[in-house]
Structures are given as structure tokens and as C-alpha cells.
Amino acid sequence: MSKVIMADAVSLDGFLADEHDGVGPLHDFYFNGDTPIKGGRDTFYVHFKTSPATARYLDAAWSRIGAMVIGRRLFDITNGWNGVPVAGDRVFVVTHSAPTDWEFYGKAPFTFVTDGVHSAIAQAKQVAGPHRDVALNGGDVGGQAFAAGLVDELDVALVPVVFGSGKRFFGSFADGPVLLEDPEPVVTGDRVTHLRYRVRKD
């Protein structure tokens, strides 16, 4: 069955970037090994080489992704990865207005959703189908989906660094507590621990 999985690299104190959107050492584990990542799209991951444990974990996780949901901020920072989804068949961008001046607008498999995160996830699930997952980035859009009960699992790449302040993994979410199941599996890579939690729905 398709799942909505909220995923990101996170500091020990729960931040996915600093106040200026800098990720510091949070993504270093993508480049600190000798094992290439095969999941996702080769054009994007060609330079990623990690520890063997991280590569196995990410290969399995990313190969199951059918569609992605991201916020407008991430889209702007990455320029929509130049029109190539990092995983899956299509990216749904939650935004107030479509960037019609984007050089890849109308050509790339990106859909700009102006009626909220519920609609974006519903459309992404249609594309993913029953046997693939929807990947959802952390931050404000992820926090909105989590608050609405739309997230099935959390996939946290926990990096041993403390930011002190910055952009929170859960955005502005403050409606806890929300109970999670025990992490499964726990995979230790080089400078990262991969944790996956199922969100309790009862």
C-alpha cells in the first residue's frame, strides 16, 4: 500500500537548515564514502557516494518513491532541480502561485498546486499508485501535512550536529504530542543514523 513519508536530514536539535537555509554538515554523509547510490535518478545522484550501509538504505527507500511533494521555498532554492525530479515520476509543489517564468515551466514533470497540501498529496498519491510511496520534505509544508494527519511515516537522517536555531523539520507544527512507533530499522552510516518511524493513527 502507498505511504506518505516525510523525510529529511536533521540536526540533533531538530533543524533541517539554519536561518539562512544553509544546511552546513547535514548533507555531508552523501559524499563521505565510496559506495554510489543507485536508487532515484542516475542524473541527480551520480556524484553521491556514501557508506555501504547508507547506500543500501537509500537505494531501497528511494526506489519505492513514485512522486514527491515539496514546498515553494525548496523549489526556489534548488531551481526545481533544473526540471528533473530527484525521485519518482512527478513533483507536486505547494505554492500560492505558479512560476510561469521558470525556464522549465510546462515542460518538466512538475505540478504547481495552489489549493493546499491536502490537494498536493492526493494528486501525488494518484501518480504513485498503490505500490509506490509519496515522499514529502520536512519544513512548513511537511509540518502542515503532519498536523493534518496525512503522514504515515517519518524518515529521519539524524546527523550529529547541533544548530541551536534554524528551520525546523516540523515547520510551525505545535499540536503535539503525536505518538510514533519504535524506529524500524535503525541503520548507522558514516556521520548519520537513519531512523524510520510509523505514525500511530489510533
Whole-Å CA distances, 28 to 24, 25, 130, 159: 8, 5, 33, 9
Q: Confirm whether pTM is higher than 0.85.
A: yes
pLDDT for the residue 48: 87
What is the CB-side half-sphere exposure of residue 174 using CA atoms within 13 A?
1
**What residue type is 95 in one-letter code?**
T
Q: Is the peptide bond before 185 cis (omega within 30 degrees of 0)?
A: yes
Q: Is the dihedral angle over the CA atoms 162, 163, 168, 169 positive or is it negative?
A: negative
Q: Which residues contact 105 (CB under 8 A, 6 or more apart)?
A: 98, 99
pLDDT for the residue 157: 98
pLDDT for the residue 38: 76
pLDDT for the residue 42: 58
155 forms beta bridges with: 7, 196
The whole-angstrom separation of Cα 76 and Cα 84 is 14
Q: Grid coordinates 548507522 are at which residue? A: 188
Per-residue pLDDT of the chain (202 residues; tens, 9 = 90+): 889 999 999 999 999 999 999 999 999 999 999 998 876 665 566 678 999 999 999 999 999 999 999 999 999 999 999 999 988 999 999 999 999 999 999 999 999 999 999 999 999 999 999 999 999 999 999 999 999 999 999 999 999 999 999 999 999 999 989 999 999 989 999 999 999 999 998 7
pLDDT for the residue 81: 93
